[in-house]
Amino acid sequence: MHFLYFFKVYVRMMCTAKKCGIRFQPPAIILIYENEMKGKSRQRIMPVRNFSKFSDCNRAAEQLKNNPRHKNYLEQVSLRQLEKLFSFLRGYLWGQSLAETMEQIQRETTIDPEEDLNKLDDKELAKRKSIMDELFEKNQKKKDDPNFIYDIEVEFPQDEQLQSCGWDTESADEF
Amino acid sequence: MASDKAKPCELNQEKYDADDNVKIICLGDSAVGKSKLMERFLMDGFRPQQLSTYALTLYKHTATVDGKTVLVDFWDTAGQERFQSMHASYYHKAHACIMVFDVQRKVTYKNLSTWYTELREFRPEIPCIVVANKIDADIKMTQRSFNFARKFSLPLYFVSAADGTNVVKLFNDAIRLAVSYKHNSRDFMDEVLQELENFDLEQKEEEVPDRVQRGNIESPSPS
- B94-133 pLDDT, tens per residue? 999 999 999 999 999 999 999 999 999 999 999 999 999 9
Domain membership flag for residue A44: yes
Q: How many CB atoms lie within 10 A of CB A63?
A: 17
Phi-psi domain of A144 (left: phi exceeds 0; alpha: psi -120 through 50; beta: other): alpha
CATH number at residue B25: 3.40.50.300
- Same domain assignment for residues B60 and B168: yes
Looking at chain B, the whole-number percentage of residues with pLDDT higher than 70 is 76
Pairing of the two strands B144-145 and A163-164: parallel
pLDDT of residue B209: 43
Closest residue by Cα to residue B173 from B97, B87, B85, B116: B97
Q: Which domain holds residue A21?
A: 2-95
Domain count, chain B: 2
Euclidean distance between CA atoms B24 and B90, whole angstroms: 10
Pairing of the two strands B49-51 and A40-47: unpaired
Interval B136-154 mean pLDDT: 94
Counting as low any pLDDT under 70, the low residues of chain A are 1-14, 37-38, 160, 170-175
Interval B163-171 mean pLDDT: 97
Domain membership flag for residue B168: yes
Whether the CA torsion B34, B35, B37, B42 is positive or negative: it is: positive
The one-letter amino acid at B197:
E
pLDDT of residue A139: 94
B167 within 8 A of B131, measured Cβ to Cβ: no
Euclidean distance between CA atoms A80 and A102, whole angstroms: 14
Domain membership flag for residue B8: no
| ipTM passes above 0.90 | no
**Which is more confidently placed, B203 or A138?**
A138
Q: Is the pLDDT of residue B70 over 70?
A: yes
Residues of B in contact with A118 (CB under 8 A): 29-30, 81-84, 111
Cis peptide preceding B155, ω within 30 of 0: no
What is the per-residue DSSP string for B6-30?
A: HS-----GGGGGSTTEEEEEEEE-T
Q: How confident is the model at residue B194 (pLDDT cuts 50, 70, 90)?
A: low
B31/A132 Cβ within 8 A? yes
3-state secondary structure of A132: helix
Whether the CA torsion B68, B69, B73, B74 is positive or negative: it is: positive
Looking at chain B, the whole-number percentage of residues with pLDDT higher than 90 is 60
B109/A167 Cβ within 8 A? yes
Q: How confident is the model at residue B223 (pLDDT cuts 50, 70, 90)?
A: very low
B136 within 8 A of B162, measured Cβ to Cβ: yes
pLDDT of residue A123: 85
Domain membership flag for residue B48: yes
Q: Which domain holds residue B207?
A: 187-216
Euclidean distance between CA atoms B9 and B27, whole angstroms: 24
Euclidean distance between CA atoms B172 and B159, whole angstroms: 13
Q: How confident is the model at residue B205 (pLDDT cuts 50, 70, 90)?
A: low
B136/A154 Cβ within 8 A? no
Domain membership flag for residue B11: no
Q: Is the pLDDT of residue B13 over 70?
A: yes
- Same domain assignment for residues B118 and B201: no
Q: How confident is the model at residue B212 (pLDDT cuts 50, 70, 90)?
A: very low
Residues of A in contact with B146 (CB under 8 A): 158, 165, 167-168
Domain count, chain A: 1
